[in-house]
Structure 1
Amino acid sequence: MSENVGTFLDEYELQLPTETQQKLAKETAKEPFSQWWIVGDVFHFDNVGVTRSHEGVQYLCCSECELGPFGIKEGDRYLVALDRVKHLVKE
């Protein structure tokens, strides 16, 4: 994500599918997240893909390696779960 484009959102609970799923499970395993970066334009990201809708939801994943999901598309904004990404600070 480009510098200074995200807005921090706290105490906003949404669930994301776990990064690994059991093959024979009848339902998608999910876990809750409550801290997010909000970004208004998908082009502010580097290498982010948006999935097709699954159960009415579009998820964010790495477009290079398909790791994820680490976020969710909600209306016209993109939410990135803080616990699913690394924060790099340039020195």
Structure 2
Amino acid sequence: MPDCSENYEKEISDGKNARNIKCKYCNSVILTPSTAAFTSFEFQLPLIRQSKINEQNPETENVSLFWAVTDMFTFQNVGFSNTVGNNKYLTCADCEAGPIGYHDLSNKMSYVALSRVIHS
């Protein structure tokens, strides 16, 4: 089992999400069970709440635990931002909170940060 320092072990079953993945703010379902694979790597994701607005250099945090989604049509309620570099940021399609993750244009994979969503 990968290192899940924030007690996410119970959310992973056979390497996939065991339960629904929902928006922290409006409870909208983003992914249904067994539709995303657990992966771990380092990525600088912009903060959901910025202390100052600076579109050229947004404040970021280092995120390392993700749900990987191979097909963007797997999502239930996700919006995609305009392209920023080689990525598009993911938001909740219902309340527009985000970014909850990002879509990598080079490998066509989407990654949802475990710390930016709830599991139920």
TM-score (norm 2): 0.67
User: Compared with structure 1, are the counterparts of its residues 36 and 26 closer, same or farther at alpha carbon in structure 2 (3 Å cutoff)?
Assistant: closer
Return the letter of the residue paired with 1:77: M
In structure 1, distance between residues paired with 2:54 and 2:38: 37
The aligned counterpart of 1:52 is 82
Please provide the CA RMSD for this pair: 1.6
Report the CA distance between 1:51 and its aligned residue: 0.7
**Which structure 2 residue ranges, 5 or more long, are not aligned?**
1-30
**Partners of 1:14 and 1:29 in 2: CA distance:** 13
Q: Percent identity?
A: 34
**CA distance, structure 1, for counterparts of residue 56 and residue 109 of structure 2:** 30
Structure 1 segments (4+ residues) deviating >4 Å: none
Between structures 1 and 2, the one with greater strand share:
2
Alignment of 1:1-91 (within 5 A): 1-10=31-40, 12-21=41-50, 22-23=52-53, 27-74=57-104, 75-88=107-120
Choose 46-55 or 79-88, whichever is displaced more: 46-55
Secondary structure in 2 aligned to 1:68?
A: coil
- For this pair of structures, how many residues does the alignment match? 87
Residues 87 and 25 of structure 1, relative CA distance in 2, 3 Å threshold: same
Q: Which secondary structure does the structure 1 equivalent of 2:63 belong to?
A: strand
